[in-house]
């Protein structure tokens, strides 16, 4: 119960930051003002300034936009492909199912980061690498969730009834299966988004993700590492933001499960 509230709160906060950041930041996130470098958090700069005198809070707000956008886009891409394949796999069954599951296992053996690194080798570091690396990594996940749901729903009495009444396969998929996927997918989406934010941060930290001067939370941590003793707020702030965002999405996802469990127990 509690976790759901926290989840909504944190995610809501993150979304608020993103929306606000879209229209307004206290300072231009990329504007360098070297004379004001390394200022500790204070009235003028709520979270201090970095080594170029850029306002940390503004960069974090702007970075929220980027991290969320890239993360959400990547997860959506992966989800759309994964759901489509999962529907096919669960519904058609047999030979198709075997093949798709095999391919899914193969893709799962390549963690997102490795995939992204492979892509970074043949393309250059940047947003496409992050996007496709995370998207491809999410396909097997959504494939599995969808397939499992389809398999369990397929056997339900009302589906059999519909089929007996002559409903076409497509109609069954659209009217009976898809709507019931919603819950499981919401959970997965939330959890995947949490993973995507972490993945993007890690890739940017390694240097293959978002490139300067665009502020990415992961990149900010990479730059802050040198100044850890001099300006600890540069290390604490971006890391805290990442952690809160990820925890928020995880809690949200978890709470969906808890909610549904209660429903099932009542049945």
Alpha-carbon gap, residue 238 to 218, rounded angstroms: 7
Q: Tell me the closest approach of the beta carbon of residue 169 to other proteins, in angstroms.
A: 27
CA distance 209 to 216: 9
Considering only 40-48, 77-85, 154-162, 195-203, which stretch makes contact with other proteins by CB under 8 A?
Answer: 195-203
Task: Kindly indicate which of the ranges 28-36, 40-48, 152-160, 180-188 contains the residues binding other proteins, using the contact rule CB under 8 A.
Answer: 28-36
Phi, psi of 49 (to 5 degrees): -125, 160
Q: What is the DSSP string of 178-235?
A: HHHHHHHHHHHHHHHHHHHHHHHHHHHHHTSSSPTTS--HHHHHHHHGGGTTT-HHHH
Instruction: Provide, rounded to whole angstroms, the least separation between the CB of residue 176 and other proteins.
Output: 27
Of 70 and 119, which CB lies nearer to other proteins in the complex structure? 119
Smallest separation (angstroms) from other proteins to the CB of 29: 11
74 makes contact with other proteins (CB under 8 A):
no
Q: Which residue has the tokens 């729903």?
A: 153
Site for other proteins in 34-53 (CB under 8 A): 34-35, 37, 51-53
Q: Is 213 helix (H, G, I), strand (E, B) or coil?
A: coil
Query: What is the total count of residues that contact other proteins (CB under 8 A)?
Result: 62
Measured from the CB atom, the residue of 167 and 243 that comes closer to other proteins is: 243
Q: Which residues bind other proteins (CB under 8 A)?
A: 3, 30-32, 34-35, 37, 51-53, 102-103, 105-114, 117-122, 124-125, 194, 198, 201-202, 205-208, 211-213, 218, 221, 224-230, 232, 235, 238-239, 242-247, 250-251
């Amino acid at each position: 119960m509690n976790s759901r509230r926290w989840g909504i709160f944190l995610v809501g906060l993150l979304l608020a930051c993103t929306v606000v950041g879209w229209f307004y930041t206290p300072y231009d996130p990329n504007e360098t003002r070297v004379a004001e470098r390394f200022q500790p958090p204070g009235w003028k700069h709520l979270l201090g300034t970095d080594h170029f005198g850029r306002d940390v809070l503004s960069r974090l707000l702007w970075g929220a936009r980027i991290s969320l956008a890239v993360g959400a886009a990547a997860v959506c891409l992966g989800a759309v492909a994964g759901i489509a394949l999962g529907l096919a796999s669960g519904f058609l069954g047999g030979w198709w199912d075997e093949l798709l599951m095999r391919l899914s296992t193969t893709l799962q053996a390549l963690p997102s980061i490795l995939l992204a690194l492979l892509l970074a080798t043949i393309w250059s570091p940047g947003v496409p690498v992050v996007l496709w690396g995370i998207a491809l990594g999410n396909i097997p996940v959504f494939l599995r969730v969808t397939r499992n749901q389809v398999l369990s729903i397929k056997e339900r009495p009302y589906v059999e009834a519909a089929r007996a009444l002559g409903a076409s396969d497509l109609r069954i998929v659209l009217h009976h299966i898809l709507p019931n996927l919603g819950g499981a997918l919401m959970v997965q989406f939330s959890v995947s988004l949490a993973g995507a934010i972490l993945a993007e941060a890690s890739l940017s930290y390694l240097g293959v993700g978002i490139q300067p001067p665009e502020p990415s939370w992961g990149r900010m941590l990479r730059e802050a590492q040198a100044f850890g003793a001099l300006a600890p707020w540069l290390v604490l702030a971006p890391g805290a933001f990442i952690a809160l965002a990820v925890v928020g999405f995880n809690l949200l996802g978890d709470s969906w499960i808890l909610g549904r469990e209660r429903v099932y127990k009542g049945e």
